């Protein structure tokens, strides 16, 4: 069996937002869907809510009335779990409790045919642990959708220790047939997305904790420089700090308190205070109607230079040279230096490599050092983040600000924290993705697909690391590890190996 035949009945347990959404996806694909919820009447309510959502699509001419009616006709509410006996695939989307999931699947084993596929939508519980209570654990697989299920493309297909490879492949092909982007992963804490995504929150929180920049400024850097749809604090407020903090704690504990996943005291305090984000009206931001819009730190006008010297190749930041020329700035180039930098009247301007500007200033015995942060696309981004060494004069720094403003960038000044905001975040995302591959959780392509399709990252972290240069990423991590003296920033062995071999990651779509 490759794809679940369309004439096979799909059952969904749990009629909340996620369960009803999964039922809609299966029904849209042509399956008869049985929807059951332990709360009386909830299944019917879930179907009615789905119908209202489809009505809006019809009104916007994104769906025909005939297709809407046909989809709804394939959704059948059930009053008892016994009604699910005819199903060929049962997807559970209920409370995240191991004992309850085990009870439900054990009952399904009694009711359904021996060849039924049992799938759990769990985002955090081990598929292996759920299957340990079953008579046929080889028929159990993770099928983790992302909310809202009808919209989000990603489905993580998770194999427990006992999961039959053919069962996992069938679910993978079925998800693809339903219009999703499935990825295969092994049952490990956080699977792919909830594991690899931890640094996006953690590094923003770390910069905030160290006074590198305020919440609104860090979010603006993530959006305007990094190309992320939402900054880490906006996203945490949307998810809910109780949920986000709990996931971080869960991953931290599941990996035996690995410091890479250490939760933030700041987020713990927000959770303890009940400042949970949008749903409570207050988190990092206030959501009161009269709440003022927080201001992003943006530098005032600086002095535009007439000439700059570019020493070596700027790598991922090379588009800045073309921008300078377009603005009529004279560029004097020399390529004898391995590490690229911009020289401007005794001022050294360079891409951050995980060291602070102050450290570089001391090491090179050059007082005026300014670092700029990573951007997704230096040619098109409208903001750049700068940090200056403690030794840097105000006059010299004003020239750096003026240069980037002349290149069409808003300049945001942050404190001199190692790795700044985007560079340390992307380096850690890539490091975690590489470790997932190294530990046989998934392949490199699955990491990048998962992070783009599951949480809307602007680029897969491993492909992004290759664009920066894997050696630069490793140097950044090593400098962060040396500066902080923490195992948190240890380099993945696979990332090191790629640098030593000079080979990149393997992507099937490359």
Catalytic residue numbers, as ranges: 123, 144, 156, 194
**Closest to 137 in 3D by CA, of 106, 111, 98, 107:** 106
**Does a cis peptide bond (omega within 30 degrees of 0) precede residue 148?**
yes
Sorted by sequence, the CB contacts under 8 Å of residue 15 that are 6+ apart come out as 23, 35, 36, 37, 39, 42, 43, 45, 46, 47, 77
Q: Which DSSP letter does residue 222 get?
A: I
| Spatial separation of the C-alpha atoms in residues 268 and 260, rounded to whole Å | 17
Sorted by sequence, the CB contacts under 8 Å of residue 64 that are 6+ apart come out as 58
Within 10 Å of residue 383's Cβ, how many Cβ atoms? 20
Alpha carbon 28 to its chain's center: 27
**Closest to 460 in 3D by CA, of 481, 476, 475, 443:** 443
3-state secondary structure of 183: strand
Pairing of strands 154-159, 140-145: antiparallel
| Spatial separation of the C-alpha atoms in residues 10 and 31, rounded to whole Å | 6
Residue-level length of the chain:
510
| Spatial separation of the C-alpha atoms in residues 124 and 63, rounded to whole Å | 34
| Spatial separation of the C-alpha atoms in residues 197 and 454, rounded to whole Å | 10
364-369's contacts with Cβ under 8 Å and 24+ in sequence apart are 367/391, 367/392, 367/393, 368/392, 368/393, 368/396, 368/397
Q: List b or e across 321-346, with b for residues whose CB sees 16 or more CB atoms inside 10 angstroms.
A: bebbeeeebeeeeeeeeeebbbbbee
- Name the burial class of residue 194, with classes exposed (0-12), middle (13-18) and buried (19+) by CB atoms within 10 angstroms of its CB: buried
Pairing of strands 341-344, 347-351: antiparallel
């Amino acid at each position: 069996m490759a794809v679940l035949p369309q004439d096979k009945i799909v059952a969904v347990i749990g009629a909340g937002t996620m369960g009803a959404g999964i039922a809609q996806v299966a029904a849209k694909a042509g399956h008869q869907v049985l929807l059951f919820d332990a709360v009386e009447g909830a299944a019917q309510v879930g179907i009615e809510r789905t119908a209202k959502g489809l009505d809006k699509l019809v009104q916007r001419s994104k769906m025909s009335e005939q297709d809407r009616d046909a989809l709804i006709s394939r959704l059948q509410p059930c009053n008892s779990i016994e009604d699910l006996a005819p199903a060929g695939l049962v997807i559970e989307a209920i409370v995240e409790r191991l004992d309850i999931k085990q009870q439900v699947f054990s009952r399904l084993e009694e009711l359904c045919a021996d060849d039924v596929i049992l799938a759990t939508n769990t985002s955090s519980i081990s598929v292996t642990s759920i299957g340990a209570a079953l008579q046929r654990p080889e028929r159990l697989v993770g099928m983790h959708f992302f909310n809202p299920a009808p919209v989000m493309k990603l489905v993580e297909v998770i194999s427990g220790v006992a999961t039959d490879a053919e069962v996992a492949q069938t679910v993978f092909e079925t998800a693809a047939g339903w219009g999703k982007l499935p990825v295969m992963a092994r049952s490990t804490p956080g699977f792919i997305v909830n594991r690899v995504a931890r640094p996006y929150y953690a590094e923003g929180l770390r910069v905030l904790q160290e006074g590198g920049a305020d919440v609104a400024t860090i979010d603006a850097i993530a959006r305007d420089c990094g190309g992320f749809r939402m900054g880490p604090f906006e996203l945490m407020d949307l998810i809910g700090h109780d949920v986000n903090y709990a996931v971080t704690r869960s991953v931290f504990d599941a990996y035996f308190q690995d410091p890479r996943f250490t939760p933030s005291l700041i987020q713990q305090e927000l959770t303890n205070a009940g400042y949970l984000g949008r749903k409570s009206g207050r988190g990092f931001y206030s959501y009161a109607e009269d709440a003022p819009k927080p201001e992003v730190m943006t530098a005032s006008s600086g002095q535009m230079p007439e000439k700059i010297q570019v020493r070596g190749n700027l790598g991922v930041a090379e588009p800045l040279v073309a921008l300078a020329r377009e603005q009529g700035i004279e560029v004097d180039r020399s390529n004898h230096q391995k590490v690229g930098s911009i020289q401007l009247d005794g001022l050294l301007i360079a891409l951050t490599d995980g060291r602070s500007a102050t450290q570089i200033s001391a090491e090179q015995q050059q007082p005026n050092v300014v670092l700029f942060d990573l951007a997704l696309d230096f040619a098109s981004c409208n903001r750049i983040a700068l940090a200056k060494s403690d030794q840097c004069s105000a006059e010299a720094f004003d020239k750096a600000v003026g240069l980037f403003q002349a290149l069409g960038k808003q300049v945001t000044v942050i404190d001199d924290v190692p790795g700044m905001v985007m560079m340390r975040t992307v380096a850690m995302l890539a490091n975690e993705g590489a470790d997932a591959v190294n530990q046989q959780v998934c392949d490199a392509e699955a990491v990048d697909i998962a992070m783009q399709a599951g949480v809307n990252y602007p680029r897969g972290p491993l492909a992004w690391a290759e664009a920066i240069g894997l050696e630069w990423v490793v140097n950044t991590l090593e400098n962060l590890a040396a500066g902080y003296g923490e195992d948190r920033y240890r380099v993945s062995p696979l990332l090191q190996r790629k640098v030593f071999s000079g080979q990149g990651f393997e992507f099937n779509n490359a």
